[in-house]
Amino acid sequence: MSRQLEFRLDADTIRPIVQYVRGFLLELGEELATPNGPPGDDEIMSDFWSRDLLNSQRKDIAAISELFDDDFMETGRATVDEEDADLVLKGCTVIRLKLRESTLASIDDELLESGELRLSELTNEQESGYGAYVLFASLQELIISRMNP
């Protein structure tokens, strides 16, 4: 029997963060989140390699879209099925990588890692981005601890 992980967040608090992330999910269907590539300089292999990685990334993003759907926006409640857990974990990483290189690009690694940011010094966009960055890290930690101990 497949396991499920259910979580519930305060919908009013989380809604603007998820709305913010939804804004660039489409973009992540068109470009890789990491500077990864094939091991050689063969053009044909390079095309296949990158296309396959992008297709894989699209599935990760789709899993996140499904998890944080309109129902979640209403209730703040979502469920991760065991068979989708890997996709959700990867999707969280894609979003965090994207946030790191865009909205949060001007913030030091150490500050981000320690979480010792002064929210008052962030722009509204950075605040939403940081909220999402922390949210998706927490979700990863939760899934890993419960489903991949």
Q: Which residues bind other proteins (CB under 8 A)?
A: 33-36, 39-40, 49, 52-53, 56-57, 86, 89-90, 93-94, 96-97, 100, 109, 112-113, 137, 140-141, 144-145, 148
User: Which residue's CB is nearer to other proteins, number 59 or number 77?
Assistant: 59
Cβ neighbours of 135 (radius 10 Å): 20
In whole angstroms, how close is the CB of 111 to other proteins at the nearest point?
Answer: 11
In whole angstroms, how close is the CB of 129 to other proteins at the nearest point?
Answer: 13
In whole angstroms, how close is the CB of 55 to other proteins at the nearest point?
Answer: 10
User: Which residue's CB is nearer to other proteins, number 71 or number 108?
Assistant: 108
